[in-house]
Amino acid sequence: MSETVLVTGGAGFIGRFVAEELLRRGHRVRVLDSLIEQVHGQVDGSALLSPEAELIHGDVRDRAAVATALKDVDSVIHLAAEVGVGQSMYEVERYTSTNDVGTAVLFEALIADRKRRVVTASSMSIYGEGLYRDADGALVEDADRPNLRDGLTQWDPVDGAGRPLIPVATPEWKRPALSSIYALNKYVQERTTHIMAAPYGMEGVCLRLFNVYGPGQALSNPYTGVLAIFASRLLNGQKPMIFEDGEQRRDFVHVSDVARAFADALVLPAAAGGTFNIGSGQDRSVTDVARELARAMGRNDLAPEIVGKARIGDIRHCFCDTGLAAEKLDFRARQDFGAGLAVLAEWVADQTATDNVAAARAELEMRGLVA
């Protein structure tokens, strides 16, 4: 089934891969993107995309631009969003306006110009802390770390008796625990999609993305994915900066796998009405990831700098239970992590990047967001 698909935010890191995957499958692609400098730098937007994709330079909050972008398309992949947990905690209006109001504008336009399906990008950040198991084997959905500001050295959540909780893969049924404005925004985008789609005869799907990496990330954006931040530091001869003790665990999924998930979620009947985790199903410590990237970039001399402080809004462990996506979408990550890092390192070697990490950290500390 070939369709004309609108991809909001389609000139961004993930959006470009999604657009290419859709084109490869025979779809026609239109992109709506505001091309903000923090993400894209000062570039010609058309140079970011295949010439086969149509680009509309516009903001998702602009009703006229959205109406124009929706004209004569069959389905929508909604990626447009401000991205960054730390920055969301002080640029609250900007994040909420783009992410929540932008989604509202899109769905108001869809009332008058309905489409077959809308697939919205959500985030693992909505879980807050991932799922845990206590020493007695009981699952714990509401793990918390309330004492980060007290300068404690116990980074892992504990139960009521002070025993460490054991992190386990997080499934979609875990209750949200919204610990940042960005997480709140993504949850609102999810709920808006499901609340608005069905009553107006559309199919809504949400994909909760875990830590996406790959070539094409915004290396000069200090609020982007952690691997891009590490790559920027290493490229500039600086040590990767890691908060807490570096043993927090995450799930890293390659952008090509994510693009495939969006293209499948757009058409598979079993996806309709669902919310799915999209990750690799493998967890790694942030320190191990920093060291592996340094090796891939030939910078073994730059060992990670362990900060020993926490950012307010950060979580300790969260990694992906992929069972539902495997069952309903037949999704399994294909990209080997080591091979994916090698490709990323090769791409980074040809880039230039401004290292803004220290400035971003200073901004957070000035605002009392680093414990």
Contacts for 69 with CB less than 8 Å, ≥ 6 apart: 6, 8, 30, 32, 56, 58
β-bridge partners, 322: none
β-bridge partners, 132: 140, 167
State residue 220's pLDDT score. 66
State residue 362's pLDDT score. 60
The DSSP bridge pattern shows strands 132-133 and 139-140 to be antiparallel
Residue in 70, 64, 78 with CA at minimum distance from that of residue 113: 70
- The token pair at 27 is 């779809």
Q: Is 223 one of the annotated active-site residues of the chain?
A: no
State residue 360's pLDDT score. 52
CA distances 240 to 116, 147, 218, 227, Å, are 44, 26, 16, 9
Tell whether 241 is covered by a domain.
yes
Q: What is the DSSP letter of 263?
A: H
Rounded Cα distance between 34 and 11, Å, is: 9
Residue 204 main-chain phi, psi, to 5 deg: -110, 140
State residue 86's pLDDT score. 82
Please pick, among 182, 187, 213, 223, the residue that the annotation labels catalytic.
182
Contacts for 81 with CB less than 8 Å, ≥ 6 apart: 9, 98, 99, 102, 121, 185, 186, 189
State residue 218's pLDDT score. 77
State residue 260's pLDDT score. 98
Contacts for 173 with CB less than 8 Å, ≥ 6 apart: none
Tell whether 371 is covered by a domain.
no
Number of domains in the chain: 1
Dihedral Cα 356, 357, 360, 366, nearest 10 deg: -120
Q: Give the range of the structural domain holding residue 336, as residue numbers without chain letter.
A: 4-366
Residue in 144, 207, 133, 221 with CA at minimum distance from that of residue 170: 133
- The token pair at 167 is 């992190």
45: left (phi over 0), alpha (psi -120 to 50) or beta: alpha
Per-residue tens of pLDDT for the chain, all 371 residues:
799 999 999 999 999 999 999 999 999 999 999 998 776 665 555 677 999 999 999 999 999 999 999 999 999 999 999 988 888 888 999 999 999 999 999 999 999 999 999 999 999 999 999 999 999 999 999 998 766 654 556 789 998 888 889 999 999 999 999 989 999 999 999 999 999 999 999 999 999 999 999 998 877 666 667 888 888 889 889 999 898 899 999 999 999 999 999 999 999 999 999 999 999 999 999 999 999 999 999 999 999 999 888 877 788 999 999 999 999 999 999 999 999 999 999 998 888 767 655 655 565 555 555 55
CA distances 194 to 3, 153, 199, 244, Å, are 22, 41, 9, 36
DSSP H stretches of helix in 198-329: 226-235, 255-265, 286-296, 323-329
Contacts for 18 with CB less than 8 Å, ≥ 6 apart: 7, 10, 77, 79, 258, 259, 262, 263
Sign of the four-CA dihedral 111, 112, 115, 116: positive
State residue 341's pLDDT score. 94
Tell whether 40 is covered by a domain.
yes
State residue 84's pLDDT score. 83
- 3-state class of 277 per DSSP? strand
- Tell me the whole-structure pTM to 2 decimals: 0.93
Tell whether 99 is covered by a domain.
yes
Q: What is the CATH number of the domain that holds 283?
A: 3.40.50.720
Rounded Cα distance between 143 and 148, Å, is: 13
Tally the residues of the chain: 371
Rounded Cα distance between 225 and 218, Å, is: 9
State residue 161's pLDDT score. 87
